[in-house]
Amino acid sequence: MSRPIEVRELTMEYSEVRALDNVTLRVEKGELVTVLGPSGCGKSTLLSLISGLRKATAGQIYLGEERIDHLPPQQREIGFLFQNYALFPSMNVYENLAFGLRIRKYSRIEINRQVEELLEMLGLTDQAHKKPAHLSGGQQQRVALGRALAPKPNVLLLDEPLSALDVQIRQRLREELRNLQKNLGITTILVTHDQEEAFELGDRVAVMNKGKIEQVDIPQRIYDFPATEFVACFVGNVNVLSGVVSSGKIYSCSLAMDIPDYLKGTLNNTPVRIYIRPENFILEKETNATAKGAMRGVIRSAVFRGALIGLDILLDNAEVIHAVVTKDKTSSKGLFPGERVVVWAKASHVVSTQTAPACVKAG
């Protein structure tokens, strides 16, 4: 029943906006891929094309080996949970869940059996005869989810399923959703602009920007090895330092780093932007010894964040960086506000020679 879904070179143009630009993505059977991107980047458009509610300008969609982009939504058997849930207001919970089965002309006994099972699974048995308007947000979300799952679809599409909910229940439902998806083994695409949600739920994460998919990978690699400036900026915190290429190395002020492979052969004196995650700085208290290839500065402030401490450091060249170190290190090394420090970088993530930054983000 569950099948892989794949889109190839999908492009969607509304009258003047190009909402999707040559998007290719494959989601394996039983896999959950989260699509992460800022508002307006084309996430909902992608889902509406896969579901068949809109027709793509160009490109193909495959369900398993079968090409489906010419099929109307009724024949694709793809479950869709809308951002606003779109529960049928005149039907109660039971009737909402039964809708897809009634359309398919299942017998009454069969419908009853399946709906009871769903109600049980979603913890909604007591709410079966309530109208959607009389349910809480979390209950509405489950009804919408159950309604999409009832006809046992090939693929499940979730458009920001948790963003309409209070923060307190969001975390609970996130775990429930994850477990449910794994237990059912249903191929799922979940769209969100919430980075934490994307990372926690996705087997893989696809980061989208301006209608393009910039990177698809497992969460850890998206964070540690962002493929583009946009991904580095959009995912997690990052420091952006300006630097220059010089004889096989890159320098930002006196900080020296190895040049990444993809920039080998870049001319000397080419200006670059260097992206460094806050936890990838190495800090030492300044001594008289020369610190080769390091920057110097003074700790301006420290913010306590549980096991981690965030430090703002004013460099001698007047740039400010944001570093994160463990609490143990601050005390063992004496890294307190007012102290002078030397700073190395463990690794840089993205180095770009493009002139316009993908995003502006202070460290």
**Which C-beta is closer to ligand ATP: that of 17 or that of 103?**
17
Q: Is 190 in the site for ligand ATP (CB under 6 A)?
A: no
19 binds, among another protein, ligand ATP, Mg ion, none (CB under 5 to 8 A by kind): ligand ATP
> What tokens appear for 336 in the block?
């307190």
Q: What is the residue whose two structure tokens read 């110097």?
A: 296
Distance spanning both ends of the chain, measured CA to CA: 47
Q: Let me know: does 298 contact 285? Beta carbons within 8 Å.
A: no
CA neighbor of 62 nearest in space, from 95, 27, 12? 27
Round to whole Å and give the CA distance between 252 and 175: 42
> What tokens appear for 280 in the block?
């990838």
CA neighbor of 37 nearest in space, from 233, 201, 203? 233
**Which C-beta is closer to Mg ion: that of 44 or that of 114?**
44
327 binds, among ligand ATP, Mg ion, another protein, none (CB under 5 to 8 A by kind): none
Q: Interaction with ligand ATP in 138-167: which residues (CB under 6 A)?
A: none
193 binds, among ligand ATP, Mg ion, another protein, none (CB under 5 to 8 A by kind): ligand ATP
DSSP alpha helix (H) spans, the chain: 43-51, 93-103, 108-122, 137-149, 167-184, 195-201, 219-224, 229-234, 327-333
331 in helix, strand or coil?
Answer: helix
Smallest distance, another protein to C-beta of residue 78, A: 6
Here's the x/- map for ligand ATP, 229-268, by CB under 6 A: it reads as ----------------------------------------
> What tokens appear for 91 in the block?
């039907």
147 binds, among another protein, Mg ion, ligand ATP, none (CB under 5 to 8 A by kind): another protein
| Angle, alpha carbons 275-276-277 (nearest 5°) | 125
Q: Let me know: does 195 contact 320? Beta carbons within 8 Å.
A: no
CA neighbor of 351 nearest in space, from 254, 269, 243, 193? 243
88 binds, among ligand ATP, Mg ion, another protein, none (CB under 5 to 8 A by kind): another protein
Region near Mg ion per CB under 5 A, out of 38-46, 193-201, 227-235, 303-311:
38-46
Q: Is 76 in the site for ligand ATP (CB under 6 A)?
A: no
Residues that bind another protein (CB under 8 A): 51-53, 72-74, 76-80, 82, 84, 86, 88-91, 99-100, 103-104, 121-123, 133-134, 136-139, 147-148, 151, 169, 172-173, 175-176, 178-180, 183, 196, 199-200, 219-220, 223, 236, 279
Pairing relationship of beta strands 295-305 and 340-345 according to DSSP bridges: antiparallel
Here's the x/- map for ligand ATP, 32-71, by CB under 6 A: it reads as -----x-xxxxxxx--------------------------
Round to whole Å and give the CA distance between 56 and 9: 10
Smallest distance, ligand ATP to C-beta of residue 39, A: 4
Q: Is 17 in the site for ligand ATP (CB under 6 A)?
A: yes
> What tokens appear for 77 in the block?
């058997």
What type of residue sits at position 61? I
Q: Is 44 in the site for Mg ion (CB under 5 A)?
A: yes
Query: Helix 93-103 to helix 108-122 angle, to the nearest 10 degrees?
Result: 130
The size of the interface with ligand ATP (CB under 6 A), counted in residues, is 12
Q: Is the dihedral of CA 231, 160, 56, 29 positive or negative?
A: positive
Q: Is 48 in the site for Mg ion (CB under 5 A)?
A: no
Q: Is 86 in the site for ligand ATP (CB under 6 A)?
A: no
Name the residues that contact Mg ion, by CB under 5 A. 44
Which residues are near ligand ATP by CB under 6 A? 14, 17, 19, 37, 39-45, 193
